[in-house]
Amino acid sequence: MCYDISVNLRRQLKEAMRVNDETIIAEINAKIDKLETPRHFHTSGFSHPEILVYTNENPAVPVLSQWGLIPHWSKSEKDAKKFWNNTLNARGETVFDKPSFSDSAKFKRCLIYVDGFFEHHHLGGNTYPFLIQRKDRKMTCLGGIWSEWVNKETGEVLNTFSIITTKGNDAFSIIHNNPKMTQPRMPLVLHGESEDEWLHLDAEDKLDRERINELMTAYPSDDFEYVPVGKLRGKDAVGNSEYVLGKMHYPELWLTLNELSAID
């Protein structure tokens, strides 16, 4: 699963996909200026942060979108908010079948660039967060779906998104060992040509649909580092601080770290 990310909106705008139009850049920066938190060292999907996503409708220009997809057919604000905590992630294996996701999977796919993301490891009744980020420190591109919902009560247009998840890779088979899960999961990571494919393939075309399904597979472990960090939740949580990215030493994780090193 993917409920926790690290993301800098300024970096999303500057490094993910460059916008050459200075007017558009100024407009997006003005919107970022109005946000309470433009730099998320750590943020949880359950707080529904606004971040930049790149959509298939205009891949060159990012739009502010809230995490937690609201289907376009939601009738009221009350109904819409019922979806939020249940649509942070969308399983790739069923994304075309679920009513909440199917329209977006066919017609509204997006890219979400993050500095890193977090997953929790379970050991001895405790959980230990790991920060996963690229070894080269470039941004990680996650595949997602988005929706545009109109609040009929206020006329407000709300953009929302969900992160696609897939079966976990070898490293996630070690880290993401939640006893409640039948198999390890990880977010859909895209790179290079697969980013453009994710945005532009036609899901109503049989061959394109097959290719989309091929893209929704585990990304190899080799490009990433897996670092134990401080608590993300509860009374010991570090909060939205750069210290949340610092490596923590948990002696009890020695075997887990050895297993990860063997993969790396």
**Is 70 exceeded by the pLDDT of residue 203?**
yes
Average pLDDT in the chain: 93
Domain boundaries, given as residue ranges, for the chain:
4-118+135-171+179-226
Read off the tokens for 228.
């134990």
With beta carbons less than 8 A apart as the criterion, state whether 66 and 50 touch: yes
Per the listing, tokens 């490009």 go with 223
226-243 tens-digit pLDDT: 999 999 998 889 889 999
Long-range contacts made by residues 34-41, C-beta under 8 angstroms, separation at least 24? 35/9, 35/64, 37/240, 38/8, 38/9, 38/10, 39/8, 39/9, 39/10, 39/240, 40/5, 40/6, 40/7, 40/8, 40/240, 41/6, 41/240, 41/241, 41/242, 41/243, 41/244, 41/245
For residues 18-37, average pLDDT: 87
Both structure tokens of 264: 């790396």
Question: To the nearest whole percent, how much of the chain has pLDDT over 90?
Answer: 79
What residue spans of the chain are helical by DSSP H? 9-11, 22-33, 77-84, 102-107, 170-175, 193-200, 206-215, 254-263
pLDDT interval class at 264 (50, 70, 90): low
**Topology at the third CATH level for domain 4-118+135-171+179-226:** hypothetical protein yedk fold (3.90.1680)
Q: Which amino acid is at 21?
A: D
Count of alpha carbons within 13 angstroms of residue 57, beta-carbon side: 12
Taking the C-alpha atoms of residue 187 and residue 253, their distance in angstroms, rounded to an integer, is 23
**pLDDT band of 80, cuts 50, 70, 90:** confident
pLDDT value, residue 60: 87
Q: Which residue has the tokens 């060159």?
A: 60
CA–CA distance, 249 with 81 (Å, rounded to integer):
39
State how far the Cα of 137 lies from the Cα of 141, in Å rounded to an integer.
12
* Tally of CB atoms within 10 A around 180: 5
Residue 21 has pLDDT above 90, yes or no: no
pLDDT in tens, 132-167: 999 999 999 999 999 999 988 888 999 999 999 999
Quote the pLDDT of residue 16: 72
Q: For the whole model, what pTM was predicted?
A: 0.96
pLDDT over 90 at 198, yes or no: yes
CA–CA distance, 55 with 204 (Å, rounded to integer): 18
